Amino acid sequence: MFTPGIYTDAHIAGWKKVADRVHQAGGYLFIQLMHAGRMSHPENTPHHRQPVAPSAIAPKAQMFTATGMQDIPVPRELSLEDVKATVEDFRKAAAAAIQAGGDGVEIHGANGYLIHPFISENANVRADQYGGSIENRARFAIEVATAGAEEIGAERTGIRVSPGVPLGDLVEGDKGPEVYKYLVSELAKLTSLIFMSCMAAMKRRFVKFARLGRLCLSLIVRAALWRNSTETLIQDLQISHL
């Protein structure tokens, strides 16, 4: 609801106006690509369809709609064909962002939206190649990032993650840190992937993850910083941007 799209000619034309103004002011525009996944409600979409997710498990949360707050319904589990089609949707959206004059994209893999539940053990109970093991739980995020990098160039592609952040009623579990460690190592193989935008969670886990991410990728840190950690983040971790 109230979220701009980037999948029609009209969307592209609208974003072109934004990109032109940003460039006229000497700036750069990276368009965020987001699929809400299960953090949605039929009333908030033009097609009024059931939300989708890695598994048919609803978050214990409510969603604002035009008729007020409502419980988020049980989502439809994505089939293997749906998963592949969604990867291609991200690919097409990345291409559309560049066509609209954007300088790059940020893939939203955080905050409970579609990519994030694939990583989380309480929202992903799949028994196929997208669930269970560390490698499988990271697979969808890697495929989406790879598709974007292939389509528009890794130097124009970034991904946002939120390790340890329980938004969207998500629990990453004991394997969560290992999933992110594996995810970073695989993203690093896209040698010029431009950045990883990380939303901070618990201090100890975040600093550990930030060190790992900084070894492999340019790292942007946003939100929930601790005053006594800022110098560490800038000097020790050599954070690209705060």
Catalytic residues: 113
SS3 of the chain: the string is CCCCCCCCHHHHHHHHHHHHHHHHCCCCCEEEECCCCCCCCHHHCCCCCCCEECCCCCCCCEEEECCEEEECCCCEECCHHHHHHHHHHHHHHHHHHHHCCCCEEEEECCCCCCHHHHHCCCCCCCCCCCCCCHHHHHHHHHHHHHHHHHHHCHHHEEEEECCCCCCCCCCCCCCHHHHHHHHHHHHCCCCCCCEEEEECCCHHHHHHHHHHHHHHCCEEEECCCCHHHHHHHHHHCCCCEC
Distance CA 116, CA 183 (A): 12
Structural tokens at position 108? 């939203």
User: Is residue 175 classed as helix, strand or coil in its secondary structure?
Assistant: coil
Q: How far is CA 53 from CA 60, 70, 168, in A?
A: 14, 18, 12
